[in-house]
Amino acid sequence: MMILDAVLKLRPNAFEDMPRNEIEATVDKFLHGCSQHGLQLAVSQPDLFCEKCGKCCRECDPIILNVDDLKRLASHLGPRLEEFIQLDGFYRFKKTKPCAFLKENQCSIYDYRPTRCREAPFFKVGGQLTLLWDQHLFQEGREYCKFAFNLTVYQIVRWVNGRTRLIESQKKLDESKAFLEKSRELLSKLNRK
């Protein structure tokens, strides 16, 4: 499993701290959705996860344009905008696989890009931004969104780290309880004498 390999690169002693089956169950959990913390971090600091691979620009279809998108694009492209859009119920880019504005794996209209592109790889579902997941997204040999992969690995490593700290804290607490118990026994013996 590619994600587990990446987790082990970042946290080589993960299996020493936790059972493998528990980590694998966590991988499955995060493949079914994004944690609230992960989502907030991804939205606020997308460059932490995005490797600018251009996959979203090669495969996102359709790219629907709203009024603000049209205004932004028109301010940059002027009358040439008509070459790139079509109307069939709503405005959309004509060419999206790959996007007509993808040049040398870079967006040539980055500052003017549509809302859909600004939100990628997130989607609006019920007015909320969410990262849509596919359980089979990260299969070996399949091109995948590096953003989603990196975010998933980050969340798992964060969970393992937190869980490890919890286990370490529990051990220290148990040691403290044992020390207190021995101290009580010793004090009790001294008080009897």
| Whether residues 48 and 140 fall in one domain | yes
Decide if pLDDT at 77 tops 90. yes
Q: Do 113 and 158 fall into the same domain?
A: no
- Which residue reads 């969104």 in tokens? 145
How far, in Å, CA of 163 to CA of 46, rounded?
Answer: 25
Q: Is residue 12 part of a domain?
A: yes
The number of helices, as runs of H, and strands, as runs of E, in the chain is: 9, 6
- Residue 34 binned pLDDT confidence (cut-offs 50, 70, 90): low
Q: Tell me: do 47 and 68 sit in the same domain.
A: no
Whole-model pTM above 0.75?
no
Q: Same domain for 2 and 46?
A: yes
> Is 182 found in the same domain as 145?
yes
Q: How many CB atoms sit inside 10 A of residue 76's CB?
A: 13
- Which residues constitute the domain of residue 91? 61-119
Q: Are residues 73 and 31 located together in one domain of the fold? A: no
**141 within some domain:** yes
Looking at the 3D structure of the chain, how many domains does it have? 2
The whole-number pLDDT of residue 154 equals 78
User: For residue 69, what pLDDT is reported?
Assistant: 94
